[in-house]
Amino acid sequence: METPREPHFFKPLLPGFQSGVAIPLDFYSKHIQGAEINKPWKLRSDASDQIWEVIREGRTLTKGWKEFTEAHDLRIGDIVIFKHEGDMVFHVTPFGPSCCDIQYTHPHIVKEEADADDAPTFSYDYCFLAEVTATNQKDDKMFLPVEAMRCGALNQQCKEVKLVNKEGKSWTARFGFSESDGAYYISRGWRKFCRDNRCTNGDLFVFNVVGDGTTTPLLCVCPERKECTELLIKHFSRIDGSIASTSRN
């Protein structure tokens, strides 16, 4: 397969994104690995003539990234596309959660805001634990916890979601609500997500739900964050408790 002349990757912005952004492994292996370690990335955008230098530490952009995000008023739920123009120069295009590119007032970087009455309220503080099982892979159907009903990013009018892994790659899946179970579910895409990510039965994912209740929600695999770790600890605590109870009986 021929390599794109301007290879690119995209990243959804999750809570904590200002501290650094991880470069997808596939992109890193093909286009970055082996490059000068201390050579900074140069980021540019259509919002300004300024060039931002950002330090790369391994697969993570760190020093200088926060300044870039603040200058462009990037927010949780935005999606950023990095297009490699060569010699570690990247053209960066931010998109809002509705997947429309963000408009700025040029030459000053001032994000154009929607009217107050139209401004969406994004939910990004709901995480849930999903386990890969033989049944949900066979049925191509994975149920969300009942608690997901309280998540503002999800509703019964929603017909699809995007599953996003840690590398920023996304899969579209059908989204629905089961009246009999009283819970949301993901189908027609869950099995492919599991297969493409080489999942095996028993694998666990912590998904962070990002959306505004009107646009297609993103279900993003959590990076290493305190909330995600706590969910996993609770999960394994329940398992250990069950084993101990069975042993006593």
Give yes or no on whether 8-95 and 127-243 have one common fold.
Answer: yes
How many degrees, rounded to 5, is the angle at CA 208 between CA 150 and CA 115? 70
Residue closest to 70 by CA, chosen among 90, 48, 40: 48
pLDDT at 80: 87
Please compute the mean of the pLDDT values over residues 107-116 and round it to a whole number: 42
Share the mean pLDDT of the chain: 79
* Residue range 125-143: mean pLDDT, rounded: 91
In this prediction, residue 180 has a pLDDT band, given cuts at 50, 70 and 90, of very high
CATH value of 8-95 in 3.30.470.20, 2.40.330.10, 3.30.160.100, 1.10.3720.10? 2.40.330.10
Mapped onto helix, strand or coil, the DSSP state of residue 138 is helix
Q: Per-domain residue ranges for the chain? A: 8-95, 127-243
pLDDT digits (tens, 9 = 90+) for 13-41: 877 888 898 888 888 888 888 776 678 99
Whole-number pLDDT of residue 239: 46
CATH hierarchy code of domain 127-243: 2.40.330.10
Nearest 5 degrees, angle CA 151-CA 157-CA 158? Answer: 65
